[in-house]
A and B are shown apart, each in its own frame.
Chain A
Amino acid sequence: MFSTTKARTRLTGVLAGAAVLALAACSSGGSDGGDSAGGGSEGGGSGDLITVGFSQVGAESGWRAANTKSIQDTLTEENGFDLKFSDAQQKQENQIQAIRSYIAQGVDVIAFSPVVESGWDSVLEEAKQAGIPVILTDRAVDSEDESLYESFIGSDFVLEGEMAGEWVSENLATEPINVVELQGTTGAAPAIDRKTGFESATADNPNVTIIDSQTGNFTRTEGKTVMEGFLQAHDDIDLVYAHNDDMGLGAIEAIEAAGMVPGEDIKIVTVDAVKDGMQALADGKINFIVECNPLLGPDLAEVIEKVIAGEEVEKRIVVEDQSFTQEQAVEALPTREY
């Protein structure tokens, strides 16, 4: 008994030692990065790399994967960037932690896609005090103090919802239709805005009735599970409006399992236009997709360079989105990058 206790104490000591070493390694690595980056911006030489700390939401969907790839492919060393990338796994606390560590490392620019809209004021204030400019990509924050960030690059989610709603209103709602909605992550900007946009665009058409709306958390698995529930709860679903392709793809599985034909018995309209979604659109399983352009890398690089050079940047940079019908998807598929 005594010996085991002793052994355990020794083991704890070893672990603690290892942890201290690891921490030391981290902090020294961090300060090195900070020093070199600081020297770079002071010297202002064009040959130095701009250190960018980027905190991504996660890898919850195909769209996100394309977005991540675009950023990683653009912010390369050849293009003059040193990208520090972290994945928040859809948790705000992870993201706040990542941003704090970027502040501690003294990066030149922090860019991130906020997981949710609220709760960013204090960490953004810290970045501001440290003199590090912040750029938002893809999703906005609801801070009233706009000086907390330099610019917000991303699609207009309300407009995306409106485009979906208008298409439904014009093409499908010539007779009364019942719509079920698969919402994104509760509290996330795209979920709130795509819901609002769709509702406002269909509000003046009495034929459109939204009979149920639940969150599918932007994932296929939950999209499928929730759709299974909808199919049990309602006999008369005519249309699924999903806030992203992945939930729509999950819904397709659920509809097929229920012995119905997606795209015919139950129509599907989604937002995003990632590869799997476009394929389903071309195959006739989805009826209409509003694109949400994930290729934000080039825009982000341009804004970062302007911010570092001290030039004025626009507070809101809207990325152009298009939309696809089934025929357009068949044409567009072979040449699409993502």
Chain B
Amino acid sequence: MTATTSPWQRVLHHRLFWPVVALVVLLAANTVNRPSFLSIRVQDGHLFGALINLLKNGAPLLLVALGMTLVIATRGIDLSVGAVVAISGAVALSFIASAPDPGSITTVLVAVGIALALSFVLGVWNGFLVSVLGIQPIIATLVLMTAGRGVAMLITGGQITTVNSAPFKAIGSGFWFGLPVAVILAAVVFTAVALLTRRTALGMLIESVGINPEASRLAGVKARNITWTVYAVSALFAGLAGLMISSNVMAADANNAGLFIELDAILAVVIGGTSLAGGKFSLSGTLVGVLVIQTLTLTVTMLGISPSVTPLFKAIVVIAVCLAQSPKMRDVVAARRRRAARTPAQTAEVTA
């Protein structure tokens, strides 16, 4: 980018331009279809509306995608997050269900503590496999991805565990200051991660590990510890997401809770412009990616798209966004435009 590029061009070439366009188009389509889509009203002392639901349902995915962004930045991948989501929910609800007083805050806090601690331990295990034993991330986390749901099934005894506990319900469907608790929790985590990675050198260190682990080690970066940490953090976030998902319906479903959330999270990260090859990462990009995916899901219901073509509809939107973003595709389009213009002056301008 030279100083001569106009602000418009800079916006156009920003890697988040197309994802944001997709998001705006989806929101606009919903608003055209249903003008009250964007309206938010106050009900029972808290905010209520499609956008609030969108944020609330997107909170777990955002948490998982945040962890995934950090892992991907170190050139890794974490396939086990969906299983961790299931385990976390299963542990918390089984504990609450067997506690003498399911409704007490202490019970819920202990349950949350156990679930998060276990998730963290699972992440440490993933990190150990990847950073100490040097197993490729996709294989190392595949172990837990397959085994994890089995563990969750063991915990719940193959049943869907349901409980009635007001404090636990607050995590997934409660409100603080008029906003969903889940959204506030996700926002706090997002801010914390953003501050830690962008206001300290941590973000740069993570990127350097992703770009070249050996070189960064020689430069004095503790590459192993950083890799280890991001897996632990990823699982911890997935554990929190699991609590939200199970609290949302007050049921721990070992088979379906967080099913394929790892793929949605990877997709969100990719839409957000973080390369799977590691290195530079974008947290705000991930946020946009999560919103695009979540809005897409809501759009299917809002526009009344038939369930049999839903996957196709989603695939078309995702492919369109990815194509628009890909540098190759942009070059092709730019070259076409150049050929069409044919005037040397304009060619010079574009290449500049």
CB within 8 Å of B: which residues of A?
A: 4, 7-8, 11, 58-62, 65, 68, 87, 89-90, 183, 186-187, 212-215, 217, 219-221, 224-226, 228-230, 232-233, 246, 249-250, 253, 257-259, 276
With A214-B304, A257-B173 given, can you name 14 additional A-B contacts, CB distance below 8 Å? Answer: A11-B134, A58-B255, A58-B256, A65-B159, A65-B160, A90-B255, A186-B307, A212-B304, A219-B253, A219-B256, A221-B249, A232-B49, A232-B50, A232-B53
Q: Which 9 A-B pairs have the closest CB atoms?
A: A229-B301, A215-B307, A220-B249, A232-B50, A65-B159, A186-B307, A259-B43, A228-B53, A233-B302
Determine the chain B residues whose CB is within 8 A of the CB of A258 once the complex forms. Answer: 43, 48
Determine the chain A residues whose CB is within 8 A of the CB of B297 once the complex forms. Answer: 225
- Give Cα A219 to B245, complex, Å: 12
Partner of A220, one of B33, B50, B251, B255: B251
Contact residue range for chain B?
35 or more
A59-B153 in contact (CB<8A) = yes
B34-A233 in contact (CB<8A) = yes
Determine the chain A residues whose CB is within 8 A of the CB of B34 once the complex forms. Answer: 232-233
Determine the chain B residues whose CB is within 8 A of the CB of A186 once the complex forms. Answer: 307-308, 310
- Give Cα A65 to B158, complex, Å: 7
Residue B248 lies at the interface, judged by CB distance under 8 Å to chain A: yes
- Give Cα A65 to B255, complex, Å: 12
- Give Cα A93 to B149, complex, Å: 17
Determine the chain A residues whose CB is within 8 A of the CB of B216 once the complex forms. Answer: none
Q: Taking the nearest CB of chain B, how far is it from the CB of A98, in angstroms? A: 14
A68-B249 in contact (CB<8A) = no
B42-73 to A contact mask, C-beta < 8 Å, 1/0: 01100011100100010000000000000000
Residue B254 lies at the interface, judged by CB distance under 8 Å to chain A: yes
Q: Taking the nearest CB of chain B, how far is it from the CB of A276, in angstroms? A: 6
Partner of A214, one of B43, B53, B245, B301: B301
Determine the chain A residues whose CB is within 8 A of the CB of B307 once the complex forms. Answer: 183, 186, 213-215
Residue B37 lies at the interface, judged by CB distance under 8 Å to chain A: yes
Determine the chain A residues whose CB is within 8 A of the CB of B267 once the complex forms. Answer: none
B133-A11 in contact (CB<8A) = yes
A59-B249 in contact (CB<8A) = no
Q: Taking the nearest CB of chain A, how far is it from the CB of B213, in angstroms? A: 12
Q: Taking the nearest CB of chain B, how far is it from the CB of A189, in angstroms? A: 15
B300-A224 in contact (CB<8A) = no
Residue B241 lies at the interface, judged by CB distance under 8 Å to chain A: no
A259-B48 in contact (CB<8A) = yes
Residue B275 lies at the interface, judged by CB distance under 8 Å to chain A: no
B149-168 to A contact mask, C-beta < 8 Å, 1/0: 10001000011101000000
B249-A4 in contact (CB<8A) = no
Residue B206 lies at the interface, judged by CB distance under 8 Å to chain A: no
B301-A253 in contact (CB<8A) = no
Q: Taking the nearest CB of chain A, how far is it from the CB of B311, in angstroms? A: 9
Residue B321 lies at the interface, judged by CB distance under 8 Å to chain A: no
- Give Cα A229 to B53, complex, Å: 9
Partner of B248, one of A68, A90, A221, A276: A221
